[in-house]
Structure 1
Amino acid sequence: MSKKTKADDQQASIFEALSFEAAMTELESLVAQIESGQLPLEQSLAAYKRGSELVQHCQQSLADVEQQVRILTESNQLQPYNDTK
């Protein structure tokens, strides 16, 4: 099991404020920049890293919504999903 660092906590809080739609928009922009081939190597690497983080954020957002849908389906009432990680 890995330990959470202060940097991990800061990164998580940054992403908590980022909506799924905003993350997808940023991700699409990064992909376009990388595919253009105009970024220097260091910037391409940074863009790739940020893109990977955005993908993880989007995947987690989708998983959370899927869990909410499961709760709704089971009880016929939408209940807030509390992430207990």
Structure 2
Amino acid sequence: MAENATQTIPADVQKMSFEEALEELRHIVGALERGDGKLDDAIASYQRGAELKAHCESKLRDAQEKVEKISLSPGGEIKTEAFDVG
């Protein structure tokens, strides 16, 4: 995860799995689309949604980089390389 991204994403969001963050993001989007709540609540929800979106994007980038590290050896066997996310 990029240094700037970790500074803007709250610790509770950083601890979430991709699936947990996506589920909360879906809930927020649904509430915003329905117009539930007051304006201030909608603004706070939008901010939380932006944090969740950034976290999901980071998780997807990490997964993509891991997948890209998987390659086939000359003998046709799958070879993986260590991937350092930190």
Equivalent residue number for residue 31 of structure 2: 33
CA distance in 2, matches of 1:9, 1:43: 20
Between the aligned residues of both structures, percent identity stands at: 28
Q: Which has the higher strand share?
A: 2
CA contact (8 A) 1:27 1:51 kept: yes
Given the two structures, how large is their TM-score scaled by the length of structure 1? 0.76
Which amino acid letter does the alignment assign opposite residue 53 of structure 1? E
User: Who is 2:83 aligned against?
Assistant: 81
Q: Is the 8 A contact 1:27 1:54 kept in 2?
A: yes
Task: List structure 1 segments (4+ residues) > 6 angstroms apart after TM superposition.
Answer: none
C-alpha displacement of 1:72: 1.0
More helix by share: 1
> Which structure 2 segments of 5+ residues have no match?
none
- Pick 1 or 2: higher relative contact order, CA cutoff 8 A, min separation 6: 2
CA RMSD of aligned residues (A): 2.4
Instruction: Using structure 2 for the length normalisation, give the TM-score.
Output: 0.75
